[in-house]
Amino acid sequence: MSTNCNKNTAPRNGTNRLNRLPKALDASFVAIDERSKASLYQFCESLAAYINHYYYDGIEKDTDWKGVFNINEVKEDGTSEPHLALFDSFLDLYAIAQKDLNQFTGKHLDYFFETVLGFEKKAAEPDKVYLIVELAKHISQYILNDKTEFKAGKNSKKQEQFYKLLSSFSFSHAQVVSLKSILVDQTEKTKIYASPIANSGNGNGGELANQDGSWDTFGNTDRSKAHIGFAISSPLFRMAEGKRKITLTFSYRAPYLAAPVIKPENFKASITAEKGWIAVDITAVSFTTTSVLEIVLLADESKPKLVDYSQKLHLEDFRTDFPILKIEILSSPNIYTSLNFAAIDSLAIKTDVQGVKNLFVQNSLGKLDAAKPMEIFGPIPSVGANFYIGSNEVFQHDLSSLKLNFEYLGLPTVPFVTYYELYTNLANASNGRDATKYVNNSDFKAEVSFLLHRNWINATSAEVALFSAADTDAPNEKFTADLNIPDTFDADYKTKVNDAYNLETERGYLKLKFTKGTFGQADYQLVFSTAVIGKTTVPKLPNPPYLPLIQNLTIDYSCTATINLSVAGDVKSTYDNRIHRFYFIEPFGLAEAHPFTHGSVSLLPAKSNEGELYIGLSDAVVPQNLSLLLQVSEGSANPDFDKAIVTWAYLQHNIWKEFKNIEILREQTNGLLTTGIFTLNIPKTINIDNTLLPTGLLWLRASVISNAAAVCDIISIIAQASEAQFAVYDDIVPEKIAIEAGVIAKLKEPDSAVKKVVQPYGSFDGKAIESGNEYYLRVSEILRHKRRSITLWDYEHLILAQFPNVYTAKCINHTFYNGNVGSYNSLSPGQVTIIAVPDISISNAPNPLQPKVSKNTLEQIKTYLAKTNSVFAKLNIQNPIFEEIKLHFHLKLRDGYEENIYLPKLKTQLKSLLAPWTSNAATQMEFGGKIEKSTIIYQLEKLDYVDYITCVKMYLFRPVGLEDISTKDLETAETATAASILTAYPEHSIININDIPGINNPDCECADCNDNAITDSKFIPINECGCN
């Protein structure tokens, strides 16, 4: 019993253009008189043998006429015998009648097809051309109607030719002056490949490598990487000195589902400083709860002063007067989804600064120098004396905490009660005070107040102790006090602080008012004199009064602010009153993000599109209709991807607004798959003052969410485009199906509004009148399939007739294949699978080893066949399945042939052997083919520079879904399906025998492989290999 192999048992190659025309339809297939001139000579010579030649008397036979017609005696130089020259001339004249006679077949076909059946030949189709119109300077916008004609030179009859606009077009001065693009890795969205100059070879202005001048529409993965991130502008970052710590706390609207893994090295932070951007360290990044992200940054004392953003200094386009912290996300797996899992409700900013030294200081007597020791309350400190501390940096903020630090100089080494012991005994005795003490450490107090709107405001618990040590200890030389901030003290980022306090000073100062305690300056003379007078022995003298002298005055402070990014509440009010701002960092610019303008705000800019192309327009006056010519490299789209949906948008106040359907007036590119004109109605709301992309230009965007490789490469994008067609008149018809670029340069009727007309490319879509063989083929096919697809032949010939870019069509009956190789089933009744192979001579195959028809064409084929197909047959239109052959072998070149020259040559010839269409576009691709390893060996060893090859292994790589035999060394490589074609693997493993280590015997180069045989021009038995 036979075995069911589930395989289509009708191997065939389908139909290609070379075998499409039956020989019987050729007008020269049957000739009434097929004889050539040589045949006629031979005929006459043979006939002459039967005709007698008589003497001059005409009675007696001499011989025959055979010798008269010897063709070998006919000379081209005109010296033939007269009778031969005369006969030869007769034959030339006869050839004219013979040629007319032999047209009988063609005339009969014409009569039958045209007269009897009534099929008319297709008329010529006039060609079309794209024209660019430049207006005169004094005209801002202008319309040319569909009657406008352009000069196209003269034809062979010296007649003027013209091209006429196909419709009315509006023109202006808008020009495409900038093209940028990004390609986003959708599996890791922080991998963004940016092309600042998209229309170049490397995205940065490099020379274009493609012969047609095309460039990748959205770039590719060899372009430089751009970082995305976020930035924050805030006056809280005005931190000039000291140890500066920034804590950012992001509150997400929803908790994360799984704990993200993020590290400080995933980020790069920089901030505006006095000489430009400087890097700051990120010391910690963590989720403190499931919905709160905290980032901690540190700028130590060595970092320069952090200053307000300056466009001139910092070279970017932020619109703010405050310092900017910028954090970019470095490429790392899952980092994007770890940070952008939900929208942000708020951002809390906290700054902690330690060691602010640049302070304005003065006491009641005047200004002091903070760099030197200072008499804090003057030379004779008394209750009511004041010490003022001012700072532009510190007191502009709404402070959360404030700490005052300084050091006392010359403090007593004993408690004040001990130091002033004599003061206690004598001064108190004289003035009636408590005799138990003069002063303790804790007796010294000062009142703290803040200047606000020229008024001094006390904080709650405003009094502070000037000395912190216990009364029984020596006073501490280090003074540190956490000061309470008045509730009414708020931020003011506009008022500048004077370097000296006076009655006109608005704010910016802290005051210490000496309120309690005495340092004894007023009592010292009395105490001293009392101790000396009346003493006969050396008296015990009182210590001189301590004069409070301080140094190393610093302030520590912290402040907080919150950026509300919630969509709840009055978002317009929060937008209008905002001080602190949140920005998205994009590849070519930045944009402020706020719920009022963006709705929900995420931590990072949304990157839902895989590819984006930005088109910058200059000199545009809006509103206007803009026509762009998008010249693409047709066929360069990757056919393995589904058709990409191209969306067009314009940039308005840093927000991309999609064009409405009503605003897209003309779209001829079919989603950037074919060359055509794209006309947009650009609204008046578009603006040039954007920061997301360079300012000063209007920006358009073409984007695709996925399948970026499914659009064609672009050659050029030119504004002010129009389309014209050859103007056919009764006496003027097109003589050529196309004209070269640059032929058209003038209007038929001059117009002062038009400065110049440019024809950048040749014309297209022109067709000559249908020729005889084309006509016979078309009619005969119609007569056979009757515009219905029933048989395999019908499907294939219908496709080839309608789609000139398809070279081969193969119909596979009862087979299901939807593009997924794993779904291939050759026993599917009701399913019809058609495999289309492109004409690579007229297409730009991205992968020459696996040429494929574009998805656009496959869709058009399916749509076309749906009109002719049976309702009971389900169509599947797909590209071939390519199975790749990879070879591994050792190579010995003949002496004198250099490896660096002939090894690449061998690889090229091997590619031509396994994929012959790469060297000859007319080669038929064989479906369901197979090849023997021995055949490959034989063909390679025939090459004159190859001595021999050995250790040959052949592997076959099939697409996922078919049986994997890639590890097997095959003797025969055979396709697995009827839709499969064998092709070459991109790279083969070819090892020069001379490069194999450990081989010293020149006759034993095969020692490292199992098949220990050397293949040469003669067969060498294994036992004679010399390796045994």
Establish how many alpha carbons lie within 13 A of residue 960's alpha carbon, considering only the half-sphere containing its beta carbon.
Answer: 0
Tens digit of each residue's pLDDT (9 = 90 or more) over 130-171: 999 999 999 999 999 999 999 999 888 888 999 999 999 999
Choosing from 719, 750, 771, the residue where a domain stops is 719
What's the average model confidence in pLDDT over 17-23?
86
Position 1016 scores a pLDDT of 42
Tens digit of each residue's pLDDT (9 = 90 or more) over 193-234: 999 999 999 999 999 988 889 999 999 999 998 889 999 999
Is the pLDDT reported for residue 58 higher than 70? Answer: no
- The continuous run of DSSP H or E covering 187 comes out as none
What DSSP line would sit under 640-670, residue for residue?
Answer: TSPPP-EEEEEEETTEEEEPPGGGEEEE-ST
Is the pLDDT reported for residue 801 higher than 50? Answer: yes
CA distance 1014 to 527: 121
Least confident of 26-30, 301-305, 699-703: 26-30
Is the pLDDT reported for residue 1023 higher than 50? Answer: no
Q: In degrees rounded to 5, what are phi and psi of residue 584?
A: -95, 135
What's the average model confidence in pLDDT over 85-92?
84
Choosing from 498, 524, 559, the residue where a domain stops is 559
* Token couple for 368: 């002091």
Question: Which amino acid is residue 125, in one-letter code?
Answer: E
Whole-prediction pTM: 0.84
Angle at 463 between CA 460 and CA 466, to 5 degrees: 150
Position 12 scores a pLDDT of 85
Inter-residue contact 776 to 801 (CB < 8 Å)? no
Please name which of 690, 684, 714, 694 lies closest in space to residue 702, comparing C-alpha atoms: 714
Label residue 1 by pLDDT band (50, 70, 90). Answer: very low
Pair 437, 400 in one domain: yes
Label residue 1001 by pLDDT band (50, 70, 90). Answer: very low
Pair 579, 439 in one domain: no
46 to each of 67, 94, 158, 502, how far by Cα in Å?
10, 19, 54, 137
Position 907 scores a pLDDT of 92
Domain assignment present for residue 857? The answer is no
Question: Which amino acid is residue 958, in one-letter code?
Answer: R
CA distance 615 to 628: 10
Position 187 scores a pLDDT of 80
Domain assignment present for residue 868? The answer is no
Label residue 532 by pLDDT band (50, 70, 90). Answer: confident
Is the pLDDT reported for residue 1005 higher than 50? Answer: no
Position 1028 scores a pLDDT of 33
Label residue 91 by pLDDT band (50, 70, 90). Answer: confident
As for how many domains the chain has, the answer is 6
Domain assignment present for residue 817? The answer is no
Q: What is the DSSP letter of 770?
A: P
Domain assignment present for residue 272? The answer is yes
The three-class DSSP label of residue 598 is helix
Tens digit of each residue's pLDDT (9 = 90 or more) over 410-432: 999 999 988 988 887 665 555 55
Q: In degrees rounded to 5, what are phi and psi of residue 173?
A: -95, 0
Is the pLDDT reported for residue 1007 higher than 50? Answer: no
Label residue 499 by pLDDT band (50, 70, 90). Answer: confident
Position 60 scores a pLDDT of 66
Pair 45, 77 in one domain: yes
The three-class DSSP label of residue 887 is strand
Domain assignment present for residue 938? The answer is yes
What's the average model confidence in pLDDT over 334-358?
92
Q: What is the DSSP letter of 797?
A: H
CA distance 197 to 191: 18
Say if residue 655 is exposed, middle or buried (CB neighbours under 10 Å; 0-12, 13-18, 19+).
middle
Of residues 730 and 156, more confidence is placed in: 156
What's the average model confidence in pLDDT over 294-322?
94
Pair 454, 316 in one domain: no
CA distance 298 to 322: 19
Pair 387, 528 in one domain: yes
Is the pLDDT reported for residue 388 higher than 60? Answer: yes
Tens digit of each residue's pLDDT (9 = 90 or more) over 241-284: 999 999 999 999 999 888 788 899 999 999 999 999 999 999 99
Choosing from 690, 719, 748, the residue where a domain stops is 719
Long-range contacts of 198-202 (CB under 8 A, 24+ apart): 198/613, 198/614, 199/714, 199/716, 199/717
What's the average model confidence in pLDDT over 823-846?
88
* Token couple for 821: 């190789």
Of residues 85 and 649, more confidence is placed in: 649
Pair 572, 708 in one domain: no
Pair 398, 415 in one domain: yes
What's the average model confidence in pLDDT over 563-581?
89
Q: Which range of residues forms the domain containing residue 70?
A: 33-101
Is the pLDDT reported for residue 289 higher than 50? Answer: yes
Position 310 scores a pLDDT of 94
Pair 950, 980 in one domain: yes
Pair 406, 336 in one domain: no
Q: How many CB atoms lie within 10 A of CB 1009?
A: 15
Q: How many CB atoms lie within 10 A of CB 772?
A: 14
Of residues 72 and 507, more confidence is placed in: 507
Domain assignment present for residue 8? The answer is no
What's the average model confidence in pLDDT over 174-182?
97
* Percent of the chain at pLDDT exceeding 90: 63
Pair 490, 380 in one domain: yes
Label residue 1009 by pLDDT band (50, 70, 90). Answer: low
Pair 282, 414 in one domain: no
Label residue 571 by pLDDT band (50, 70, 90). Answer: confident
Inter-residue contact 865 to 799 (CB < 8 Å)? yes
Gyration radius from the chain CA atoms: 47
Averaged pLDDT of the chain: 88
Angle at 549 between CA 543 and CA 550, to 5 degrees: 145
Position 1012 scores a pLDDT of 40
Tens digit of each residue's pLDDT (9 = 90 or more) over 652-689: 999 999 999 999 999 999 999 999 999 999 999 999 99
* Percent of the chain at pLDDT exceeding 70: 93
Domain assignment present for residue 123? The answer is no
Domain assignment present for residue 838? The answer is no
Least confident of 497-501, 527-531, 711-715: 527-531
Pair 530, 576 in one domain: no
